[in-house]
Structure 1
Amino acid sequence: MKVKVMALQPYETFGDMYREIPFSFFDCEGWTMEEMLEVTYAIYTKEQERQWGR
């Protein structure tokens, strides 16, 4: 699959990103915010979030 990045939208936190982008865009329709963050923090640490967030 080829994709073309048109723009970057930085977010301070994953929660900020999830509040703006519908969960369905992540194939997670019907999930709660808590579930989204729990799964995300199983992959990324909060330190990484601070380091790479806006």
Structure 2
Amino acid sequence: QIDLVIETSVQEGMLTLNRALVDLVKKKAISLENAELYSLNPSELRILLERS
């Protein structure tokens, strides 16, 4: 339920953990491997990275 609230509250500045990790990977602040270690859903993380 919390993820749904976060996903629907993007306009208010909320980000899921995976979206925050995607941003960090894109900025080269962390590696994909580290992002996958901290992600609660690595497969979703990879999908988000492919779409961005």
Say whether the fold is shared (TM-score over 0.5): no
TM-score under structure 1 normalisation?
Answer: 0.30
Structure number with the bigger relative contact order (C-alpha 8 A, sep ≥ 6) is: 1
Larger Rg: 1
